[in-house]
């Protein structure tokens, strides 16, 4: 599957058209940004790990009945996906207080939440992704009530699949961000699922194994991502093995 015209270049990924109008190619980059792009770096090997991890998580979710845009991994840095019309809403799922929730509500990081919390943010860099609710989504015409119900159900299902899967591998799924899009009349899970978009903590030490290592200058960012990959890769002995 060859790359066509570039459609979009984001902070961590590029999206290309392919010869099939229903399929796009995603390339995972080594670039990392945080705080609205104020902090930037190149983290050698991050793209390869995020592609590998996203492929593993999307495959698992598909097996469990969650419909995603993932088609197949094409190379170390590339995956083939179904073309989505992205819904410009970030869906955040939280099991444990951290990051912006802890700051905003004064809940210490690490506090187990009494129930899973879902939040919506408008995908708009210029506005710094403001938090929105159902009413804003309908008022702005971003998605219908039926679609929002589907997003919420899918987000909770992703959590129900990933949290126990990660727990068995010594990882706590603290929180994560999802994006969805429309494809041939269906809502599919899109974007990526990786340590760039999830918080993973080591179950015994509490060590952060995600992008907070970059945001908070903790060092060992790629090593932490590789540790997550080591724990979830199972029998998949791909090209990454050579990095061990
Ligand atoms: N997140 C993300 N992209 C964003 C904002 C958040 O992937 O633009 C992820 C983040 O990595 C974390 C979760 O969503 O796993 C919740 O993030 P939070 O709202 O706490 O924001 P942060 O503290 O990262 O600014």
Q: Is residue 43 part of a domain?
A: yes
| Whether the Cβ atoms of residue 172 and residue 96 lie closer than 8 Å to each other | yes
The two tokens of residue 240 are: 């990454």
- Does position 104 have pLDDT exceeding 50, yes or no? yes
Q: Do 64 and 23 have their domain in common? A: yes
Q: Do 94 and 181 have their domain in common? A: yes
- Does position 61 have pLDDT exceeding 60, yes or no? yes
Q: Which alpha helices (DSSP H) does 117-242 contain, by range?
A: 134-139, 145-167, 212-215, 221-232
pTM confidence score: 0.95
Q: Whose CA is nearest to atom 21 of ligand 1?
A: 100
What are phi and psi for residue 55, nearest 5 degrees?
A: -60, -45
pLDDT at 97: 99
pLDDT at 122: 98
pLDDT in tens, 71-98: 999 999 999 999 999 999 999 999 999 9
SS3 171: strand
Q: Is residue 210 part of a domain?
A: no
pLDDT in tens, 159-217: 999 999 999 999 999 999 999 999 999 999 999 999 999 999 999 999 999 999 999 99
Q: Is 92 in the pocket of ligand 1 (CB under 6 A)?
A: yes
Report the C-alpha gap between 144 and 61 in whole angstroms: 24
Question: Computed over its alpha carbons, how large is the radius of gyration of the chain?
Answer: 17
- Does position 43 have pLDDT exceeding 90, yes or no? yes
For the chain, give the percent of residues with pLDDT over 70.
96
Q: Do 119 and 175 have their domain in common? A: yes
Q: Do 33 and 70 have their domain in common? A: yes
The two tokens of residue 213 are: 């290592």
Report the C-alpha gap between 169 and 163 in whole angstroms: 10
Measured CA to CA in angstroms, residue 222 lies from 42, 195, 204, 219, 229 at distances of 10, 10, 20, 9, 10
Q: Do 181 and 111 have their domain in common? A: yes
Supply the CATH number for residue 74's domain.
3.30.200.20
The distance from CA 52 to its chain's CA centroid, rounded to whole angstroms, is 12
Q: Is 45 in the pocket of ligand 1 (CB under 6 A)?
A: no
pLDDT at 39: 97
Q: Do 133 and 183 have their domain in common? A: yes
pLDDT at 1: 78
pLDDT at 241: 46
Report the C-alpha gap between 40 and 8 in whole angstroms: 19
Q: Do 37 and 143 have their domain in common? A: no
pLDDT at 242: 40
pLDDT at 211: 98
> The domain containing residue 137 runs over which residues?
86-202
Tell me the pLDDT band of 240, cut-offs 50, 70 and 90: low
Measured CA to CA in angstroms, residue 204 lies from 170, 171, 176, 207 at distances of 7, 9, 20, 8
Beta strand 6-9 pairing with 31-34: unpaired
Supply the CATH number for residue 165's domain.
3.30.470.20
Mean pLDDT throughout 108-137? 98
Q: Is residue 54 part of a domain?
A: yes
Number of domains present in the structure of the chain = 2
Q: Do 146 and 119 have their domain in common? A: yes
Report the C-alpha gap between 169 and 162 in whole angstroms: 11
Among 36, 57, 99, 172, say which to mutate for ligand 1: greatest number of ligand atoms within 8 Å of CB.
Answer: 99
Mean pLDDT (the chain, rounded): 96
Distance (angstroms) between ligand 1 centre and the Cα of 197 equals 6
Q: Do 18 and 30 have their domain in common? A: yes
pLDDT at 234: 81
Q: Whose CA is nearest to atom 3 of ligand 1?
A: 197
SS3 115: strand
pLDDT at 80: 98
Tell me the pLDDT band of 69, cut-offs 50, 70 and 90: very high
Q: Is residue 75 part of a domain?
A: yes
Q: Is residue 208 part of a domain?
A: no
Q: Is residue 212 part of a domain?
A: no
Q: Do 191 and 105 have their domain in common? A: yes
Distance (angstroms) between ligand 1 centre and the Cα of 100 equals 7
For the chain, give the percent of residues with pLDDT over 90.
94
Among 33, 46, 92, 101, say which to mutate for ligand 1: greatest number of ligand atoms within 8 Å of CB.
Answer: 92
Q: Is residue 190 part of a domain?
A: yes
Q: Is 201 in the pocket of ligand 1 (CB under 6 A)?
A: no
Tell me the pLDDT band of 237, cut-offs 50, 70 and 90: low
Distance (angstroms) between ligand 1 centre and the Cα of 191 equals 14
Report the C-alpha gap between 28 and 35 in whole angstroms: 20
What are phi and psi for residue 205, nearest 5 degrees?
A: -95, -20
pLDDT at 2: 85
- Does position 243 have pLDDT exceeding 80, yes or no? no
Q: Is 208 in the pocket of ligand 1 (CB under 6 A)?
A: no
């Amino acid at each position: 599957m060859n790359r066509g015209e570039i459609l979009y270049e984001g902070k961590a990924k590029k999206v290309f058209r392919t010869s099939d109008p229903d399929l796009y190619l995603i390339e995972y980059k080594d670039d990392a940004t945080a705080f609205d792009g104020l902090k930037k770096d190149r983290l050698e090997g991050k793209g390869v790990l995020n592609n590998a991890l996203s492929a593993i998580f999307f495959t698992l979710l598909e097996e469990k009945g969650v419909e995603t845009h993932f088609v197949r991994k094409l190379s170390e840095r590339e995956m083939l996906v179904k073309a989505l019309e992205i819904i410009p809403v970030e869906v955040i799922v939280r099991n444990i207080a951290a990051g912006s929730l802890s700051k905003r509500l004064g809940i210490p990081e690490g506090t187990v939440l009494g129930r899973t919390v879902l939040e919506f943010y408008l995908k708009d860099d210029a506005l710094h992704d403001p938090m929105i609710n159902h009413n804003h989504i309908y008022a702005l015409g971003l998605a219908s009530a039926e679609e929002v119900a589907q997003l919420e159900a899918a987000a909770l299902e992703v959590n129900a699949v990933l949290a126990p899967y990660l727990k068995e591998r010594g990882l706590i799924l603290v929180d994560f961000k999802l994006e969805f899009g429309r494809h041939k009349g269906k809502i599919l899970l899109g974007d990526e699922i990786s340590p760039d978009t999830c918080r993973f903590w080591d179950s015994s030490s509490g060590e952060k194994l995600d992008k907070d290592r970059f945001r908070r200058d903790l060092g060992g960012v790629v090593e932490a991502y590789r540790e997550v990959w080591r724990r979830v890769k199972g029998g998949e002995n791909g090209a990454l093995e050579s990095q061990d």
